[in-house]
Structure formats: C-alpha cells, structure tokens
Amino acid sequence: MTDTIGQRPWMNAPETAAVFDALEAESGPDCARFVGGCVRNTLVGRPVDDIDIATTLTPDQVTKALKAAGIRAVPTGIDHGTVTAISRHKPHEITTLRRDVSTDGRRATVAFTTDWAEDAQRRDFTLNSLYARRDGSIFDPTGHGVADAKAGRIVFVGDAEQRLLEDHLRNLRFFRFFAWFGRGEPDAAAVAACAKLKDHIDALAAERIHKELLKLLAADDPRAAVRLMAETGVLQVILKAPANLARFDSLVEIETEQIFDCDPVLRLAALLPDDQVGAGKLAARIRLSNDERDRITAALAPTPKLKSWMSPREIRREVYRAGQAVFRDRAKLAWAASDRSAATMQWRGMIALADGWTPPAFMITGEDVMKAGVPKGPLVGAVLREVEDWWIDHDFLDDKLSAVEKLKAVAQGMAY
C-alpha cells in the first residue's frame, strides 16, 4: 500500500497549483513533486511554512516554464539548480534533481539528473528524503523515511560518516532535527559519527553555525539534543567553554511551565559561563548580530545578582538601571540558577512588576546643575549622578522641588 499525505490545503492553494501547472505544461505530469519539510511536517502533524519542490526540469526549463505562465522566477541558487517562483507573492523553491560530483565539506559541485532515487541519496536524513506527488502519494526511495518520520528517528541516508564529510553542517543539523522531531534514543551510528567528526565544524562559515545553532535552540524542548551535543563534544567545539547545562535545562523548564515564549538567544546565554568577555568572543566567532551580542553580554553581567526576595523598591531600582528587557533576561537567568523548588511566585511577581512598571524620567538636567552654580565640565555629570542616586534611593520621588533642594545641597558640598 502506498503511503500518502492526502490532499491538504497548502497543496492545492491557487499559488501552488499555478506553479505545478506551469511546470507540467513544460514537461508533462509528475515532472515535479513536493519534497522535504512540507512532506515531513504533514506526516507528523506539524504546520507547513515553506513549500519546496523537486523537479526533473533543468533550471533553464523551470525559468522558461514560469515565465510562460506569468510567474516571476528568481535565480536564487542557479548553480545548484534552485529557482524561486514568486506566485501570488508567495515563494516556492524549485530545485532540479541532483547528484554530487565533488564535495569538500563546505560546498558541493553538482550535476543534474532525472533520477528521483539518485537525488534522494545526496540528502541528509531519511525523513527529509520524502517526495509527494500532487495527489498526495509519497515516494520514499530510502524505504525508511516515512517510518522514521513517524517514529521520531533521525537517521542519515546511507553511511553517516560519508554524509557528514560531504557537508560538515549536517553535524549540527542532526542535533537540530533531533531537538525538533526526535523521540526516544538517538540513532547510535549517527551519534558516533557526529562525535568522531566534530572537529570539522570549525571549518564551517560562522554564519552557518550561528543560523543552525539558533534554530536548534528555538525548539520547544531542546534539552535532550543539547545534552547529547555535550556528551559527543560537539557543544564544546562551538562554545569553546564549559556549558552550564543545569541552568539551561532549568530555563527551558521555566519557559514551559510559565508559558513564556521559547527564547533561543536567552537559552544560548544560559548555556554560557558568567563571563562577558567569553560571551563576546563567542559572539564574534559565530557572527551573532550586534543586538544578540549586546543582549547576551548584558544578561551575563556579574552584578547585580538578583534574588527572589527583593523588595518592590529594589526591583524598580534595578529595572531603572538596566532597562526592562535586560532586567527580564537577568531575572529569568537568576531564576533558572536558583532553587526552583521554592519562590516561583516571587520570581513570577518580579517579572510581572518589571513588565508593568514604566520607569519615570529623571527630572533634573545638566542645565539645572549649572544653574545651581556648578561650572560646565566633568563635575556636572558627577553632581547629576549623585542627585539621581538619591532620587532612585527615594523610590523615584515625584517631587522636583525636593530634588532641586538636594541638588543645591550636593552642589554646595562639592569643591569646584
């Protein structure tokens, strides 16, 4: 009996039907099939976001067919056989069936083919080597893809070591797919191969590591995958530092229990030692964005250490100093590092207070300081900071007259 995904709305959407109609007008029925993630996700009941299509047509034939149908064709990866069709504003990635001619672990030289099974042999995992015809019937050339997808088994196509040597990124992809789709014990051959060839990861472009790592950490529960990365040594190759697995595990549990959004950047921060310099080096090495780098280093600041028993006044002070977003990150990391058997309500209340409080603007300016008799120069900033500290210590007193009186006292007490 042929496996099938049936007829799904995403398969018969007008924009997708138009692409298939265009390709079939060029080369007849079954010259194109759905492939990869859209088939896999449908099999396991996950949403389908991107639609990838494999075809026996060459890129030139694909481009010709799309243009004849009035569909925009973008040569996004023409050397590797990929053309993106923009049909009714929705992209569809169309790739010609391929076989590898040569590989160096970073990129491949390919030749086009019309053999669906040959195309499948160059793919990474059996659950990604599934093709579906327009009627929903599945072509499973490895013979294991459907069963592996349904069972949550992440298994390399053919020899695991060979697949990893062809593309070193597949090492990280194994753990990413295990985080998103894996169930039960991981495939022993895959784990052994990833451990053996882990040092090849250093040869990858930093941007590829960055993208794959954050995708992995965005899974609902990546704890088992990350622990497996640590056990195989793969995590050490990426972080170049000991991983704080206990804090990471605890943060994921907090996000799940408290219904917080999955936060891959904060999860990465949780994995790192409390070392801003080391975090900055990691950010540079894997090319984190400036925003990601700044967020992680701020979250890992050595002081202040937040405690669950802080008073509302102390919480407001730290929110004012750090900003709401940074305070929230620090609070979650402190919560994850604490004894989670107690104080859940206190930590939750701390974050709620920070989110619900709008820090006021300090009402004293540098101009006010100079009006109080302090000459222009560095002393103005020193006086301003002292008065601001007094204002914060008085829980952001909404009384400019009192603040001005404090300013005068500070100004008079300083020699200038």
DSSP secondary structure of 159-219: -HHHHHHHBTHHHHHHHHHHHHH--SSPPHHHHHHHHHTGGGGGGS-HHHHHHHHHHHHTS
Please give the average per-residue pLDDT across 203-208, as a whole number.
Answer: 96
If pLDDT is split at 50, 70 and 90, which confidence band does 102 have? confident
If pLDDT is split at 50, 70 and 90, which confidence band does 392 have? very high
Q: From the CB of residue 105, how many other CB atoms can be counted at a distance below 10 Å? A: 17
Q: Which residue has the tokens 């994921």?
A: 252
Cα 9 from Cα 22, distance rounded (Å) = 19
Write the burial class of residue 4 (CB in 10 Å: 0-12 exposed, 13-18 middle, 19+ buried).
middle
Question: What is the reported pLDDT for 1?
Answer: 62
Question: CA end-to-end span of the chain, whole Å?
Answer: 91
Cα 416 from Cα 60, distance rounded (Å) = 78
Cα 79 from Cα 327, distance rounded (Å) = 47
If pLDDT is split at 50, 70 and 90, which confidence band does 364 have? very high
Question: Partners of 83 in the beta sheet?
Answer: 94
* Cis ω before 304 (30° cut-off from 0): yes
Cα 215 from Cα 148, distance rounded (Å) = 21
**Which tokens is 221 given?**
């529960």
Question: What is the reported pLDDT for 205?
Answer: 95
Pairing of strands 90-96, 52-55: parallel
Write the burial class of residue 1 (CB in 10 Å: 0-12 exposed, 13-18 middle, 19+ buried).
exposed
pLDDT at 416 over 60: no
Question: What is the reported pLDDT for 105?
Answer: 75
pLDDT at 415 over 70: no
> What is the domain partition of the chain in residue ranges?
1-151, 303-356, 366-413
| Contact (Cβ atoms closer than 8 angstroms) between residue 247 and residue 292 | no
If pLDDT is split at 50, 70 and 90, which confidence band does 339 have? confident
CA 24 remoteness from chain centre: 37
Write the burial class of residue 140 (CB in 10 Å: 0-12 exposed, 13-18 middle, 19+ buried).
buried
Cα 138 from Cα 365, distance rounded (Å) = 70
If pLDDT is split at 50, 70 and 90, which confidence band does 303 have? confident
pLDDT at 75 over 60: yes
Please give the average per-residue pLDDT across 368-374, as a whole number.
Answer: 92
DSSP-derived letter for residue 51 is: -
Question: What is the reported pLDDT for 7?
Answer: 94
DSSP-derived letter for residue 359 is: P
Q: What is the mean pLDDT of the chain?
A: 95
Question: What is the reported pLDDT for 127?
Answer: 98
Q: Phi then psi for 110, rounded to 5 degrees? A: -120, 160
**Which tokens is 227 given?**
């622990």
What is the rounded radius of gyration, in angstroms, for the C-alpha atoms of the chain?
A: 28
If pLDDT is split at 50, 70 and 90, which confidence band does 344 have? very high
Question: What is the reported pLDDT for 101?
Answer: 82
Greater model confidence, 339 or 333? 333
Please give the average per-residue pLDDT across 142-148, as a whole number.
Answer: 97
What's the CATH fold of domain 1-151? Beta Polymerase; domain 2 (3.30.460)
| Contact (Cβ atoms closer than 8 angstroms) between residue 5 and residue 42 | yes
| Contact (Cβ atoms closer than 8 angstroms) between residue 364 and residue 403 | yes
CA 92 remoteness from chain centre: 22
Q: Which residue has the tokens 């402190």?
A: 334
| Residue % of the chain over a pLDDT of 70 | 99
